[in-house]
Amino acid sequence: MNEASIFLAQYLTVLLLGLQSINVVERRYLLSGITSIALGVCTFHLTAVIGSAQTTPGTALWIAFVFAGPPGIWSSMFLQPKLVKLLSFKFAFERSGKQIASVSH
């Protein structure tokens, strides 16, 4: 159970970090705030479980933690434009006269 819980929490943490990064760059204040709260929940769980675990590289818990990252970041890259479109936050920004973000799907 701990391995599945750690995998899910780490997956969600990396997914949320990816979404947070994109939302900050695109200056999406509401979405950045929401992801920040969700990150707090995930990292609180991770630190509680990992902090009490006796684990070393190669154990199932370690593998669950490490290998949850790539699918998490890939998911954030895939989902972010779809979430923005779904939530109708279709904005383009200007910074120093250059367009830095837009959703055009």
For 22-54, how does the pLDDT look when each residue is reduced to its tens digit (9 = 90+)? 888 888 888 888 889 999 998 998 888 787 777
The helix or strand, by DSSP H or E, that contains position 4, with its residue range, turns out to be helix 2-25
Least confident of 49-53, 59-63, 84-88, 89-93: 89-93
Q: What stretches of the chain adopt beta strand conformation (E)? A: 93-95, 98-101
Whole-structure pTM over 0.85, yes or no? no
Distance between CA atoms of residues 27 and 90, nearest Å? 12
- Using DSSP bridges, classify how beta strands 98-101 and 93-95 pair: parallel, antiparallel or unpaired: antiparallel
Distance between CA atoms of residues 57 and 66, nearest Å? 9
Is the per-residue pLDDT at 55 higher than 90? Answer: no
Amino acid identity for residue 42 in this structure:
C
